[in-house]
């Protein structure tokens, strides 16, 4: 049987295939910063990369498994083989989420449905990017006296209130319970490993913004949150503009995704200068 006749199957990435997998990710980086970041920072003991090859024995698609989440990078393919590796790999452990471009996530979801995995919630987003100086009008947004500054461990308690609100509104699936201990661990990780700015007004932290992933040449922005009492004042626009300017000055491109239902946030990002790239999706299991 030659390569053209051999059925395509998902296989665990071999060490010699790392360079080919990275080449595919670099080609698709603008659309899959999260997957690229998980690939770069994968834990050899817990994380795995699954590859799919074309008839020429070239890697044509990837599924990156990071703990209990899956990140498909299908390279624009309209169909892929059933991901049978899931049944043996996960065993009795449940898949937590599938995250990626909407059409590619749906392809993986359909395969998982055939294997008995059913999503309990699907959330669609706009994937957006900005690689240039933000709109200068955003640098004067917000109420007089607003301070945008670097956040530090001394701000942990105030940031925890904001991080809790962010997770409850934007992250946790609708039928899941908020876990304060897990939230604190996430915040500790952000403070220790990511870049984060805080918005201060009248001596109170009222907003935060941070990076959530680093890929080859890009930073993914996440955790953007303004306390409900201070919304509608332009604080999110100001924070985002200041943050993007810093990241771009350091040589990074910037990417984020925002819920399609969050019209206020989408308008803020568009005003800063972000452009729509593609439809994005996270499905929770």
Whether residue 44 is predicted with pLDDT greater than 60 in this model: the reply is yes
Interval 34-63 mean pLDDT: 94
Picking from 30, 105, 92, the residue whose alpha carbon sits closest to that of residue 63 is 105
Q: How much is the pLDDT for 88?
A: 66
| Topology of the domain covering 129-278 | Aminopeptidase (3.40.630)
Three-state secondary structure call for residue 194: coil
Tell me if the pTM is above 0.85. yes
What is the Cα Rg of the chain in Å?
A: 20
Mean pLDDT (the chain) is 93
Residue 89 has pLDDT above 70, yes or no: no
First to last CA, the chain: 38
pLDDT in tens, 236-254: 999 999 999 999 999 999 9
Averaged over 192-213, what is the pLDDT? 97
Q: Per-residue pLDDT averaged across 162-190, rounded? A: 95
Please say if the pLDDT value at position 1 is more than 80.
no
The CATH 3.40.630.30 domain(s) of the chain lie at: 11-119, 129-278
Give the number of other Cβ atoms within 10 Å of residue 154's Cβ: 8
Q: Which of 138, 240, 160 is nearest to 199 (CA)?
A: 240
Which region among 33-42, 94-103, 192-201, 210-219 has the lowest average model confidence (pLDDT)? 94-103
Q: What is the pLDDT of residue 116?
A: 85
Q: Per-residue pLDDT for 100 more than 50?
A: yes
Which distant-in-sequence residues (6+ apart) come within 8 Å of 157 by Cβ? none
Nearest CA to 38 out of 21, 54, 56 is that of 21
pLDDT mean over 80-84: 88
What's the pLDDT band for 91 if we cut at 50, 70, 90?
Answer: low
Poorest-confidence range of 21-25, 67-71, 185-189, 192-196?
A: 67-71
Q: 193 is written with which tokens?
A: 């490993």
> What's the distance, CA 83 to chain centroid?
22
Q: So what's the pLDDT on residue 117?
A: 85
Q: Is the CATH number 3.40.630.30 carried by domain 11-119?
A: yes
């Amino acid at each position: 049987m030659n390569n053209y006749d051999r059925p395509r199957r998902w296989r665990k990435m071999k060490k010699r295939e790392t360079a080919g997998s990275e080449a595919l990710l670099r080609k698709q980086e603008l659309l899959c910063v999260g997957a690229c970041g998980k690939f770069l920072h994968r834990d050899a003991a817990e994380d795995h990369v699954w590859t799919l090859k074309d008839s020429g024995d070239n890697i044509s698609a990837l599924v990156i498994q990071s703990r209990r989440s899956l990140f498909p990078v299908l390279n624009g393919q309209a169909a892929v083989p059933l991901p049978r590796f899931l049944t043996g790999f996960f065993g009795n452990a449940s898949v937590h989420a599938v995250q990626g471009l909407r059409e590619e996530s749906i392809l993986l979801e359909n395969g998982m449905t055939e294997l008995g995995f059913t999503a309990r919630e699907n959330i669609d987003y706009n994937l957006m990017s900005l690689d240039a100086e933000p709109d200068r009008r955003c640098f004067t947004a917000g109420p007089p006296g607003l301070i945008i500054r670097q956040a530090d461990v001394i701000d942990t308690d105030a940031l925890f209130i904001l991080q809790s609100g962010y997770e409850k509104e934007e992250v946790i699936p609708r039928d899941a319970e908020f876990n304060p201990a897990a939230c604190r661990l996430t915040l500790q990780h952000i403070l220790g490993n990511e870049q984060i700015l805080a918005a201060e007004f009248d001596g109170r932290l009222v907003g935060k913004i941070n990076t959530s992933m680093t890929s080859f040449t890009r930073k993914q922005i996440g955790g953007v949150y303004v306390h409900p009492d201070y919304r509608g004042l332009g604080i999110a626009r100001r924070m985002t503009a200041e943050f993007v300017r810093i990241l771009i000055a350091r040589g990074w491109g910037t990417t984020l995704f925002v819920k399609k239902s969050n019209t206020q946030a989408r308008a803020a990002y568009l005003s800063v200068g972000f452009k729509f790239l593609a439809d994005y999706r996270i499905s929770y299991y």
